[in-house]
């Protein structure tokens, strides 16, 4: 059992019997949520969202220690040690993603700061994500998500709920929202503006992001937004490679990591050039901080694929953990004449009745299309990387056949 008090430092973590699979499921879901929250904290300059990142980072520290303890007890022979070694890599990678997200949140918590232009660019690079506490007199209090039906009516999804010290990741239709719940909402700004007042009783007040005033800074900002999108894709593909024991997906993670490294070099050059023209060069420190942390996320994604790339094989406990995660990643090839052939995808949402998000498309003649700005029509031969529930994934696969 682990405890952490942010004021007094880490406390003891004791071994207790726990399913490695369950620990891996929670670590995967926590790591993905941390990426979302950390960038959103920077985007909105939000200390409250940054605080949630810090709390989740502490939780991840305890999870990874308990997972290591359980894995050490499980290895009773050289053969078992060989098959469990990549599992340790997955545990370590999730913890590194957590640390990188914590470093991103420090831009807010330690008031390192970012150029205003950065927030303007990130607004285009991510959906709106807000932290909202359910008021006692909210019309949503005491109702299930299926009853409220937020996503189909507004495009807004509740991606996590914190109830006291307990977390619900990727809540489902039967999840009931209670007064006092801290909810994390993600979706288009117009939808969030509709939902937030009903949920909290307070109006949603987005800030107007300024435009970059320095050309080199604009190039640096464009580079970091692309790095963010590619790093998030690398994490999703890494888990996908584990789920399918697919070396081709693992190789794509390696290619993405190389591309992110190259982007970081260019990003640093543009940032240093921009410092010559900036009124306050110190304000660019947060931008460099963000670039380093983003590159670390892509490095961690590569570690997840180690067992696949080294042909050690995927340990069943990791495969089960990825399968049983709240959201699963699927790779679907669009068949000629299928229901998906000719379907419009706008901002990652396909024009279907299925709640699946398209996070990337690999097109034979164009390469990768990445990020929330995907605005295209699916074609036969497209390899679509999507994320959603197990039910929606099966329905999406059927449409592609």
| CATH number (domain holding residue 303) | 1.20.58.220
Co-location of 117 and 158 in the same domain: no
pLDDT in tens, 69-123: 888 877 777 777 777 788 888 899 999 999 999 999 998 888 776 666 555 555 5
The domain boundary residue, chosen from 320, 350, 367: 320
Residue 6 lies in a domain: no
Co-location of 253 and 391 in the same domain: no
Name the residue with higher pLDDT: 200 or 276: 200
Q: Label residue 168 by pLDDT band (50, 70, 90).
A: confident
Where do the H-state alpha helices sit in 110-188? 116-125, 145-148, 150-154
Going from the C-alpha of 250 to that of each of 243, 257, 309, 371, the distances in angstroms are 11, 11, 6, 19
pLDDT at 39 over 90: no
Q: What's 381's domain CATH number? A: 3.30.70.1450
The domain boundary residue, chosen from 286, 320, 354: 320
Name the residue with higher pLDDT: 363 or 280: 363
d(CA 92, CA 398): 35
Report the chain's terminal Cα–Cα distance, integer Å. 47
Please give the share of the chain, as a percent, with pLDDT higher than 70. Answer: 83
Confidence at residue 6, expressed as pLDDT on a 0 to 100 scale: 44
Residue 12 lies in a domain: no
pLDDT at 26 over 90: no
pLDDT at 313 over 80: no
Residue 11 lies in a domain: no
Confidence at residue 136, expressed as pLDDT on a 0 to 100 scale: 92
Residue 146 lies in a domain: yes
Query: Can you give the residue range of the structural domain that contains 183?
Result: 125-200
Helix (H) or strand (E) holding 345: strand 344-346
Edge-to-edge strands, sheet with 157-163: 128-133, 182-187, 157-163, 166-169
Residue 40 lies in a domain: yes
Contact partners, residue 276, CB within 8 Å, separation at least 6: none
Name the residue with higher pLDDT: 393 or 300: 300
- DSSP letters, 269-329, are HHHHHHHHH-S-GGGGHHHHHHHHHHHHHHHHHHHHTHHHHTT----HHHHHHHHTSSSEE
Rounded to an integer, the average pLDDT of 38-66 is 86
pLDDT in tens, 108-128: 888 776 666 555 555 554 567
Q: What would you report as the CA-atom Rg of the chain, rounded to the nearest whole angstrom?
A: 21
d(CA 368, CA 346): 16
The domain boundary residue, chosen from 299, 320, 341: 320
Edge-to-edge strands, sheet with 375-377: 349-350, 344-346, 375-377
Co-location of 43 and 110 in the same domain: yes
Residue 383 lies in a domain: yes
Co-location of 157 and 92 in the same domain: no
pLDDT in tens, 176-231: 999 999 998 877 778 888 899 999 988 887 655 544 444 556 777 777 778 888 88
pLDDT at 372 over 70: no
Co-location of 248 and 103 in the same domain: yes
Name the residue with higher pLDDT: 287 or 182: 182
d(CA 170, CA 30): 10
Residue 2 lies in a domain: no
Co-location of 138 and 101 in the same domain: no
Co-location of 144 and 193 in the same domain: yes
User: Which residue from 204, 134, 137 is spatially nearest to 176, judged by alpha carbons?
Assistant: 134
Confidence at residue 3, expressed as pLDDT on a 0 to 100 scale: 41
Residue 14 lies in a domain: no
Q: Label residue 326 by pLDDT band (50, 70, 90).
A: low
Confidence at residue 12, expressed as pLDDT on a 0 to 100 scale: 61
Contact partners, residue 366, CB within 8 Å, separation at least 6: none
Confidence at residue 123, expressed as pLDDT on a 0 to 100 scale: 53
Co-location of 231 and 314 in the same domain: yes
pLDDT at 152 over 80: no
Name the residue with higher pLDDT: 271 or 206: 271
Co-location of 106 and 220 in the same domain: yes
d(CA 269, CA 249): 31
Co-location of 244 and 351 in the same domain: no
Length of the chain: 401
Q: Label residue 298 by pLDDT band (50, 70, 90).
A: very high
Co-location of 233 and 342 in the same domain: no
User: Which residue from 93, 91, 26 is spatially nearest to 253, judged by alpha carbons?
Assistant: 93
Report the number of distinct structural domains present in the chain.
3
Co-location of 295 and 357 in the same domain: no
For the chain, the 3-state helix, strand and coil shares in percent, each to the nearest 5, are: 55, 15, 30
Q: Are 184 and 39 in contact (CB under 8 A)?
A: no
Q: Label residue 314 by pLDDT band (50, 70, 90).
A: low
Q: Are 308 and 244 in contact (CB under 8 A)?
A: no
């Amino acid at each position: 059992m682990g405890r952490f008090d942010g004021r007094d430092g880490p406390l003891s973590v004791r071994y207790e019997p726990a399913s490695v699979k369950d620990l891996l499921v929670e670590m995967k879901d926590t790591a993905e949520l941390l990426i979302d929250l950390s960038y959103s904290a920077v985007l909105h300059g939000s200390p409250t969202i940054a605080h949630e990142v810090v709390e989740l980072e502490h939780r991840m520290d305890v999870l990874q220690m308990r997972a290591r303890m359980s894995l050490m007890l499980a290895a009773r022979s050289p053969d078992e040690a060989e098959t469990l070694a990549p599992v340790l890599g997955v545990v370590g990678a999730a913890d590194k993603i957590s640390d990188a997200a914590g470093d991103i949140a420090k831009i807010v918590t330690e008031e390192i700061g970012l150029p205003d232009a950065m927030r303007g660019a990130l607004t285009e690079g991510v959906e709106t994500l807000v932290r909202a506490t359910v008021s006692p007199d909210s019309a949503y209090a005491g109702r299930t998500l299926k009853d409220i039906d937020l996503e189909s009516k507004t495009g807004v999804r509740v991606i996590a709920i914190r109830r006291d010290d307990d977390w619900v990741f990727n809540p489902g239709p039967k999840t009931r929202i209670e007064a006092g719940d801290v909810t994390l909402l993600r979706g288009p700004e117009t939808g969030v503006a509709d939902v937030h007042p009903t949920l909290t009783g307070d109006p949603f007040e987005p800030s107007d992001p300024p435009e970059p005033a320095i050309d080199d800074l604009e190039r640096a900002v464009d580079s970091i937004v692309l790095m963010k999108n590619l790093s998030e894709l690398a994490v999703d593909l890494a888990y996908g490679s584990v789920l399918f024991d697919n070396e081709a997906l693992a190789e794509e993670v390696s290619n993405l990591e190389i591309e992110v490294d190259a982007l970081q070099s260019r990003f640093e050059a543009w940032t240093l050039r921009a410092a010559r023209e900036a009124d306050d060069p110190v304000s660019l420190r947060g931008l460099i901080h963000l670039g380093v942390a983003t590159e670390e996320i892509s490095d961690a994604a590569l570690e997840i694929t180690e067992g696949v790339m080294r042909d050690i094989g995927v340990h069943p406990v990791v495969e089960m953990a990825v399968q049983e995660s709240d959201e699963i990643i699927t790779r679907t090839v669009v068949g000629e004449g299928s229901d998906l052939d000719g379907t419009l995808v706008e901002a990652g949402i396909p024009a279907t009745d299925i709640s699946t998000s398209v996070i990337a498309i690999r097109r034979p003649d164009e390469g990768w299309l990445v990020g929330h700005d995907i605005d295209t029509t699916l074609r036969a031969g497209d390899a679509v990387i999507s994320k959603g529930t197990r039910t929606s994934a099966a329905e999406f696969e059927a449409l592609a056949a």
